[in-house]
Structures are given as C-alpha cells and as structure tokens.
Amino acid sequence: MTDLTQLTLRQAHQALESGECSSLELTRATLERIERLEPKLHAFITLTPELALEQAAQADQLRARWRREGGELPPLLGLPLAVKDLLCLAGVRCTCGSRILENFIPPYTATSVERLLTAGMVVIGKTNTDEYAMGSSTENSAYGPTRNPWNLRHVPGGSSGGSAAAVSARLAAAALGTDTGGSVRQPASFCGITGLKPTYGRVSRYGLVAYGSSLDSVGAFGRTAQDVALVFSQMAGYDRRDATSMDLPLPAIQLEDDDSSLAGLRIGVPDEYFIQGIQPEVENAVRRAIVSFEALGAFVSPVSLPHTEYALPVYYLIAPAEASANLARYDGIRFGARLDSDNILDLFTRTRGQMFGAEVKRRIMLGTYALSAGYYDAYYGQAQKVRTLIKRDFEQAFEKVDLIAAPVAPSTAFRFDEHLDDPLAMYLEDVFTLPANLAGVPGLAFPVGFDSNNLPIGMQLMGPHFREDLLFRAAHAYQQTTDWHQRAPSLS
Amino acid sequence: MLTLQEVEHIAILARLELSAEEKERFRRQLSAILEYAARLQELDTSGIPPTSSVLPPRSVLRPDAVEPGLSVEELLKNAPRSENGQFRVPPVLGLE
C-alpha cells in the first residue's frame, strides 16, 4: 500500500474519493509519522490526536452515507490540517508561543479554522511559532525552536516555522500560518514548500491573535500551488466579525493538470530586490525561474519599486507600535498567566515583565517609544507616510505588469543562534517580504532551486489586491514544468 | 542614543518590569534600531497622507441588535482569579 503521508492534499482527496483509503487511515498514518519525527523537528506545540481521530471517523461516516444516499459532500472532507498556534480553536489551548498563554483555552474558533472545519478538514494539532509571531526563525518560541527538515542545524524560518516544517516533512499535507511581515512566505521558502499570504481583507482575522492589526493576514501552506489554492478557496471571503474583511467575489481558481501556458501574462522584475549582499545562488535560482516563466509565455520586463529600502524601518516602527497596543490586553486580569501582588501596578509589570520573552518586550518597548509624546510624528507618523509611498510604488507597478517576481529572502535558511544577539540583523532577513504587508498585496512563495548545502531557495510572486488567482495560475504553470516542489527532505 | 532614564520611562508606559541587565541591553539594541529607522527622515513626505489601512476608507455598520454572546462562566474560565462571577483584582483605588 502507498505511504499515505506522501500524498499531496489533492492526491489524498482523490484517494478518499476513490475509496483507496479512509480518513481514519490517512489520519492515523499522519499521527504515526508525527510521533516518529516530532522528537527531531518539534513542529507542534500541542497535538490533538483524539480530536483528529474523532473528526476523521465522522468524515468517514458522512462519506459512507453519501455513497448510499448521494447529495453533497464538504469539499475537503477528511483531510488533515495543521494549524498555527496563533489561531483559536475552541477547547484547544492556544499559546501563541508564549508562556503567558500556556494554559489559555479559547472559547471560540477563528473564522479561517471554522470554515476549514466546515469544509470537512481534520485538525491534527497546533504548530510552533515565534512568540506572538514576532520572529523569523521560531527561536523566539517559549516552547523551543522547530528544526528545518532539510538540515536540523538550520532554522525553518518564522514565525510560522512549525507549520512550514510540518508540511515540508510530510507531517501534514496542508497547514495554516499567519503573515504580518513574511511569516508564511519566508518559512515556506526556507522549507522548500508553497505558501500564500493573501490580500489584506481577503481572509477573516477573527480569532487570529492580534500582532500588527493593519498588517496581519491568515495564509496557508502546501506542497503545491494547487493544494494551497484548495485551502485558500475554502477559508477566504467576507466575515462580518472582522470589520476589515472585504465583501468581494472570489474568482474561481481552476488549475488543470495540463494548464501551463502563461501567454500574455506580464511579469515585472524589480531591481530593488536584487541587492548587494544577496546570496548569489538565491539570485541565480530566481533569475532562472524568471526565464522559465518567459518560456511559458509570460512577458518579462523590469519594474521599479523605488521605496523598497524603506520598508524595513517603516515596518519595524508600525508593527511594534500596533503590537504595543494589541499586547496591552495581557495584564494578568482576564486571561493568561498572572504574577500576584497586592499592588495592581506591580501585578501588571511583574506579570508582563516576567512572562513575555525578550523579543516581545523589545517590540513593545520600541512601539511604545514610537507612539510616545514627542516622538509620534518623527517615528510613527513619518512611517505611516512612507507606507503610502510604498503602497503607491505597487499601484504604479501594477499599471504596467500583472505580477511582480522577486526572491523571498536574501539567503537560504540560516543556522540556529546566527542572529540571536543582533535583532537588527534578524530583521534584515525580512527585507523582501515586508513590502507586500505594508501595501496589503498578496504574495505566493514557492521553491525554485537548492543551494550547494541542499537548502531550498524560494521565490515569490506578488499581485494586485485580490488577485490571488493570478498568483496561483502562474505558480501552478511553473510547477507543471519543474520538479523542485516534489523534492522531499530525507528524514528517517 | 537612548538614555537609561528614557528606557525606564518607556518601560513604565509599557507596564514592563525590566532587570538592570535588560534595561542596558534594550538601551543598546533600541538605539541601534532607532538609528537605522532615522533614514526615514531622508524622505520629503510633505503633502503625503499617512496610511493607517490599505483598504479603501468606508464605514462598517451592523444592525444594533442583541445577539447571544459568551456566558459569564465561559468568560471567567481563563481568568487567573475570579469570585462571584467577577474578575478578582487587588485594590485599584487609594494608591499613592
């Protein structure tokens, strides 16, 4: 019998439909593989095997009844899903990678997760993340780092490193992540898989624990563009519980197996993303991929995003400023850990000072400073204005091209501890992913090669607001003619 | 360069208790980050409106109707301390 854990989401779906396997068999195979490899990888913070087996059994019953009686089946019935531990699932603890939420059990479910449950998916666990998604390596998780399946001495990227490692190591065919400054695309790139950051406003943020509210998005991981599109199509759409979710139609995403023509598609390549200091193998692989897109019929031209270099300082003022406000809710009163004191001010400062990790405190401090009296205009106000310039760069570029192609990160996965004592060096890892969040545009990362250390290289396509369909179409065409996305890390 | 006093002031605003070692480390690291961020001052942004949301400005309204919410019991389930259906806190009045 085939190893069910090696199937893509789409293949697993076909296996369930044809009766080749049941959801219980698929889920058990997944849980067994997790049990075997998790000690090496540490992709999960909380596993939910009982819940998964119960949901899988229900899925099998529903399918059995459908075979007898017909009708309609939920579109992703019985397929396993890993969920980043920053998205709430009622009754299952949600730590956000933080000690302060070690025992927090949310009473409600995030809309993105709820829609995938309604679509029939089976939740196998909550994946590791940098504390409150603040990080690019999962080294900021209070529960220990996740390891990169391609090389255990390297980071998986972050903050959604647990989800990316899980999909890369075939512990799950699909996983949810969140992307505030690159937290889906960068780990997808480091782990050699496909990951989507949708347009801001496309997927409800309800039940996503807030970090930078004007930047946060819920995205998805899979091994192929087809798989990510399957998950995205089910969770996208208007939700009245998120005032920033947009009531727009979702274009049908049809990705046929033989559909690899990109005739007429205009792809822009921004010089500003091929800067000095980029790993030459990364640049070469991305440029080769761009040539492949040309061979598929796309028209490639240079495009300019002149304010790209300012995205990093803009992001690292706006995101911490929003975080400093969002994280004010962790006060030891209504939920989360508490260090008691007779004095309420001491209670607040001790709880927060001792239960938050170093990076979270650093960003709260930075954001508080940027918003404080006397500095607001110079830092936060100026950052918001430069954000407008970055957004306009994209608007102008998308008058000339349909998509923008660029590397995801300047280098492949770095080693543990490489940047731990130098936050600024760590922030520089995000230099190519931050602009899409500041402009709110969608981005899709996927593998386009490997470096000499056999570490995956990713590229990203960015598109106009609400044109995820174009990103999927282009990446799918590329994956029809290349096999980078089929390579698997060797784990025993 | 931030001074130690500035770091202590921000920590109070942010309700964070920091050790002496943390204060010194954050002073150094935040100074380096802010120095990097100072490059934003290079840009002339006069006449450029700030972006607080990438979405088109619009009002989001809903009918003002009572709907079921979480029960008191559910809401208190995650509270570190509660009593008589309420959050229990130390005195908040009478502090100097």
The string of pLDDT tens digits covering residues A265-302 is 999 999 999 988 899 999 999 999 999 999 999 999 99
Cβ contact, residue pair B26, A244, below 8 Å: no
Question: What pLDDT digit, counting tens, does each position of A75-120 carry?
Answer: 999 999 999 999 999 999 999 999 999 999 999 999 999 999 999 9
How far are the Cα atoms of A175, A223, B32 from residue A235, in angstroms, in the given order? 12, 18, 40
**Per-residue buried b or exposed e for A120-158, using 16+ beta carbons within 10 Å of the residue's own CB:** bbbbbbbbbbbbbbbbbbbbbbbbebbbbbbbeebbbbb
Rounded Cα distance between A128 and A126, Å, is 7
> Any residues with CB less than 8 A from the CB of B61 and at least 6 apart, and which?
none
What percentage of chain A carries pLDDT values higher than 70? 100
Nearest C-alpha in A relative to B62:
A240
pLDDT at A41 over 80: yes
Q: Which residues fall within 8 angstroms of residue A42, CB to CB, at 6 or more apart?
A: A128, A143, A144, A145, A146, A147, A162
Interchain CB contact of B58 with A (< 8 Å) = no
Instruction: Give pLDDT, residue B62.
Output: 86
Residues of A in contact with B3 (CB under 8 A): none
Question: Does the distance separating the beta carbons of A372 and B37 come in below 8 Å?
Answer: no
Of A341, A358, A391, nearest to B90 by CB-CB distance is A341
Catalytic status, residue A400: no
Q: What is the arithmetic mean of pLDDT over A391-413? A: 98
- Cα(A232)–Cα(A197) distance, rounded to whole angstroms? 10
- Which of the following is catalytic: A112, A141, A160, A183? A183
Cβ atoms of residues A187 and A177 within 8 Å? yes
Contact A388 B55 (CB under 8 A): no
pLDDT, average across residues A13-32: 98
Cα B13 to Cα A305: distance, rounded to the nearest angstrom: 37
Residue A190 has pLDDT above 70, yes or no: yes
Nearest CA among A60, A55, A58, A7 for reference residue A29: A7
Report the gap between the CA of A189 and the closest CA in chain B (Å): 26
Cβ of B40 within 8 Å of Cβ of A382? The answer is yes
Q: Is B81's CB within 8 Å of A384's CB?
A: no
Which residue from B32, B40, B48 is facing A388, i.e. has the nearest CB? B48
When pLDDT is averaged across residues A132-146 and rounded to a whole number, the result is 97
pTM, rounded to two decimals: 0.97
Structure confidence by residue, pLDDT tens digits, B45-71 = 999 999 999 998 888 888 999 999 999
Q: What are phi and psi of B24, to 5 degrees?
A: -70, -40
Task: Count Cβ atoms within 10 A of the Cβ of residue A481 and give its class: 0-12 exposed, 13-18 middle, 19 or more buried.
Answer: exposed
Average pLDDT, chain A: 96
Find the mean pLDDT for residues A459-484: 97
CB contact under 8 A, B70 and A385: no
Per the annotation, the verdict on A391 as an active-site residue is no
Cα separation of the two ends of chain B: 33
Q: What is the DSSP letter of A77?
A: T
Q: Which bin fits B94, alpha (ψ -120 to 50), beta or left (φ > 0)?
A: left
Please check whether residue A361 touches B, CB under 8 A: yes
E-only strand ranges, A207-298: 218-222, 266-270
Task: Classify the phi-psi angles of A125: left when phi > 0, otherwise alpha if psi is within -120 to 50, otherwise beta.
Answer: left
Query: How far is residue A471's CA from residue A462's CA, in Å, rounded to a whole number?
Result: 7
What is the pLDDT, as a whole number, of residue B96?
53
Chosen for mutation from B3, B29, B33 (greatest number of chain A CBs closer than 10 Å) is B33
A391 and B79: CB-CB below 8 Å?
A: no
Indicate if the pLDDT at residue A258 is higher than 90: no
Question: What confidence score (pLDDT) does residue B61 get?
Answer: 87
State the pairing for strand pair A194-197/A299-303.
Answer: unpaired
Q: Which residues contact A373 (CB under 8 A, 6 or more apart)?
A: none
Give B70's contacts in chain A (Cβ within 8 Å): 107-108
Domain A4-306+392-486 has CATH 3.90.1300.10: yes
pLDDT score at B95: 57
Q: Residue A207 CA to chain centroid, in angstroms?
A: 16
Is A245 tagged catalytic? no
According to the model, what pLDDT value does residue A1 have?
Answer: 60
pLDDT of residue A187 exceeding 90, the answer is yes
CB A80 within 8 A of CB A173: yes
Which is higher by pLDDT, A258 or A190? A190
Which stretches does DSSP call E strand in A133-233? 174-178, 194-197, 218-222
Distance in angstroms (rounded) separating the CA atoms of residues A234 and B25: 45
Peptide bond connecting A159 to the previous residue in cis, omega within 30 degrees of 0: yes
Per-residue pLDDT tens over the stretch A411-455:
999 999 888 778 888 888 899 999 999 999 999 999 999 999 999
